[in-house]
Amino acid sequence: MEVGLSMKAIVTEQYGSPDVLALKEVPQPAPKPDEALIRVHAASVNAADWHMLRADPFLVRFGSGLRKPNFTILGGDIAGIIEATGSSVTQFKVGDAVYGEIAGSGWGGYAEYVCAPEKVLAPKPANLTFEQAAAVPMAGLTAVQALRDKGKVQPGQKVLIQGASGGVGTFAVQIAKALGAEVTAVCSTRNMDRMRELGADHVIDYTRDDFTRNGQSYDLILAVNGFRSLGDYRRALAPNGKYVMVGGATAQMFQAMLLGPLYSLGSQKKLGSVMAHASQADLLYLKELIEAGKVTPVIDRCYPLEQVPDAIRYMEEGHARGKVVIKVVEG
């Protein structure tokens, strides 16, 4: 790459609120041998972004810098076009449209360019725009790995998804249906019709009904932004049921990680959590589902690059209906 090339990026040099983010001109990265340089067309916002930004929980600092963040450009989801490739890259070439989850390999999506290992990238689904494709990786991977891998969902099983209207939830409803489950979506009143449109067999309005006390039992409960006690979830599980948590308040996450195994001892009911990881194979699996029309990203709002702070603030409020996307390339 030429020396001295620069790009625009949203940068932070300290932990804090979205107020610490700033649009700056920074050096354009150059790919390592196993990496591709991607012209970012779109990125998306995830809860992981504000957890990293605020160092919440505090344990975040042990992986990303105790006093200040090692990762100064956030953004874990990207979709764009390959501009250059490292010497050992074999799967992609210049001009290929790709998407990927890059949080585990250095972040950097809130920028005009980013370098990423080829192993975390996959061809962009042909029937999606870049904005739609950017909405998929982290949320889609989380849903796949929670349902298919951790939950072991089988055709005909009853699956309940709490927090069904958010980024992970909207994918989970569709993926659970694709896996052959009978799906119950739990959401607020305003999102009930959307859940039915996505294929949910049953919809529960959590402002009116308590699914842990309605006498129904489920083979799998997927809690996205779960806020109930483990005892409540356990009560709603079938005898061999599983509870999987993929997000929520810090206290809830620690409860699932630390107490879940204890609650599972001596019982056929299993309670635990899952942390999604980048996977090219799973991105290809999602690509197949999307191109087959079984999964469609749900986008709530799009923001331009300079408004990433506003996008994260909106995400933090917890009322996003689907994904929040950053449009880096206009037009």
Per-residue pLDDT of 242-287, as tens digits, reads 999 997 555 555 555 555 555 554 567 888 888 889 999 999 999 9
Dist CA 204 CA 185 (whole Å): 6
Query: Amino acid letter at 35?
Result: E
Averaged pLDDT, 194-204: 98
Q: Which of these ranges, 14-23, 49-58, 73-82, has the smallest mean pLDDT?
A: 49-58
Please identify, in words, the CATH class of the domain defined by 138-273.
Answer: alpha beta
pLDDT of residue 1: 41
Q: If you ran DSSP here, which 8-state letter would residue 140 be given?
A: H
Averaged pLDDT, 44-67: 83
Averaged pLDDT, 280-303: 98
pLDDT of residue 144: 98
Query: Tens digit of pLDDT for each residue in 104-127?
Result: 999 999 999 999 999 999 999 999
Model pTM score: 0.93
Nearest alpha-carbon partner for 76 in 257, 301, 275: 275
Q: How many CB atoms lie within 10 A of CB 46?
A: 29
Q: Domain-by-domain residue ranges, the chain?
A: 6-135+298-327, 138-273
Nearest alpha-carbon partner for 305 in 92, 43, 20: 43
Q: Which of these ranges, 54-63, 67-76, 218-227, has the smallest mean pLDDT?
A: 54-63
Q: Which of these ranges, 88-92, 206-210, 257-261, has the smallest mean pLDDT?
A: 257-261
Domain 6-135+298-327, second-level architecture: Alpha-Beta Complex (3.90)
Averaged pLDDT, 197-215: 95
Query: Could you tell me where the DSSP H helices lie in the chain?
Result: 47-54, 60-64, 130-134, 137-144, 167-178, 192-197, 230-235, 250-264, 280-291, 308-317
Contact residues for 60 (Cβ-Cβ < 8 A; gap 6+): 51, 52
Same fold, 6-135+298-327 and 138-273: no
Nearest alpha-carbon partner for 40 in 102, 128, 127: 102
Largest CA distance in the chain: 66
What is the pLDDT confidence band of residue 60, given thresholds at 50, 70 and 90?
confident
Query: Tens digit of pLDDT for each residue in 215-241?
Result: 999 999 999 976 788 888 999 999 999
Phi, psi of 212 (to 5 degrees): -80, -5
pLDDT of residue 259: 59
pLDDT of residue 204: 97
Q: How many CB atoms lie within 10 A of CB 129?
A: 17
Angle, helices 280-291 vs 167-178, to 10°: value is: 70
Q: How many CB atoms lie within 10 A of CB 98?
A: 22
Q: How many CB atoms lie within 10 A of CB 5?
A: 11
Helix, strand, or coil here: 20? helix
Averaged pLDDT, 205-214: 93
Q: Do β-strands 35-45 and 323-327 pair in parallel, antiparallel, or remain unpaired?
A: antiparallel
In this predicted structure, the answer to whether residue 92 has a pLDDT above a threshold of 90 is yes
For the chain, what percent of residues have pLDDT higher than 90?
A: 80
